[in-house]
Chain A
Amino acid sequence: MEIRVEEDMAADRMVIEIVDDGCGMDEERARKALDPFFTTKTVRRVGLGLPLLSEACRMSNGEFRLESCPGKGTRVRAAFQHSHIDRKPLGNMRDTLITLMSGHPQLDLLYEHRKEGKTFSLDTREIKADLGEIPLDAPAVVSALRTLIQSGLEDLGAF
């Protein structure tokens, strides 16, 4: 999975792109994905992640796009007017990434965040290669990653 965040102050745009190489969706499923009453979950009837994200784009003069191909994966692109008064804050990306990585240590995750000419990136494949037998969700590893991500985002002015 790849998560890219670009904050382009000159163009007054923030774009979040999420790409995966999962099982993908056919056209009908991709269309239904924005219906809050459509979900593949079995424990409840509503699925609000994508509907809320697309609404958040709309409310901040942005746009939302979902492209998917069965067997290949899905790309979600959420764009926002950066300075829009109703744009919701990006939130705590440090803890979001830590939760993703420690909850799914088998996932190959690439995170790239660009802002004002600077970039912070994190690739769990490289980290796992360096760790060898030590699991990604080992407490000491999680703690180190938390510090690494925080300082990376702080350098970017994004934390």
Chain B
Amino acid sequence: MTLREAAEKLGLKPVAGLSRLSREFGQGYVSDLLSDVMANAKPGDIWVTLQIHQNIIAVATLKELAGIILISGRQPEKQTLAKAEEEQVPLLLSDLPAFEVVGQLYQMGITGRR
């Protein structure tokens, strides 16, 4: 599945990294602890989080994640948006809570298993 397809099916709003929405992804990780993501997320994962600070872009770059979904209507900080655009890290917004986003992704075949 591509990020674009996921965005359409889940009603996500892409706000940065638009050039990479055709990126395919098959697995995901959900966590709000950046140290946990740094330790356990895998390259190519879609990351679901409520964190909005620019550090999330650095972590996504470091771990080569497919993109970041911000949940519950959270808006990225101005600097986060700027960095996401600069680094072309796909940033997608959802009004849904994390449990719902992950559940819907899971039903579409995206897993968290390693």
**Tally of contact residues, B, Cβ under 8 A:** 13
B61 with A48: CB separation less than 8 A: no
Residues of A within 8 A of B59 (CB): 46, 48
Question: A51 contacts B58, CB within 8 Å?
Answer: yes
A55 interfacial contact with B, CB 8 Å: yes
Render A25-55 as a binary contact track against B, CB cut-off 8 A, 1 for contact. Answer: 0000000000011000000111010011001
Quick one: closest B residue to A37, CB to CB?
B58
For the residues of A in contact with B, the DSSP-based class is: loop
A1 to chain B, nearest CB (A): 23
Note all chain A residues with C-beta closer than 8 A to B20.
Answer: none
Q: Please, how many angstroms separate the alpha-carbon atoms of A46 and B63 in the complex? A: 11
Taking CB atoms, residues of chain B closer than 8 Å to A55 are: 53, 55
- B35: chain A residues at CB < 8 Å are 52
CB within 8 Å of B: which A93-114 residues:
none
- B62 CB-CB contact with A under 8 Å: yes
Which chain B residues lie closer than 8 Å to A37 at the CB level? 58, 61, 83, 87
- Say if the beta carbon of B34 comes within 8 Å of chain A: yes
Smallest beta-carbon distance B84→chain A, Å = 12
Tell me the B residues contacting A by CB distance below 8 Å.
Answer: 34-35, 38, 53-55, 57-59, 61-62, 83, 87
Closest A residue by C-beta to B34 = A52
Chain B neighbourhood of A52, CB < 8 A: 34-35, 55
In the bound complex, CA of A36 to CA of B84 (Å)? 12
Whether B58 lies near A48 (C-beta < 8 A) is: yes
Closest 5 CB pairs of A and B: A36-B58, A46-B58, A46-B62, A51-B55, A36-B55
A55 to B35 Cα, complex, angstroms: 12
Residues B62 and A44 in contact, CB atoms below 8 Å apart: yes
Give Cα A105 to B87, complex, Å: 39
Chain B contacts of A48 at CB under 8 A?
34, 38, 55, 58-59, 62
Chain B's nearest CB lies how many Å from the CB of A9? 26
Determine the chain A residues whose CB is within 8 A of the CB of B62 once the complex forms: 44-46, 48
Question: Measured between alpha carbons, how far is A44 from B62 in the docked complex, in Å?
Answer: 8
Residue of chain B at shortest CB distance from A35: B54
- A residues within 8 A CB of B38? 48
Closest Cβ–Cβ distance, residue A21 to chain B (whole Å): 29
Nearest residue (CB) in B for A38 is B58
Find the residue from A37, A45, A46, A51 having the highest chain B CB count within 10 A: A46
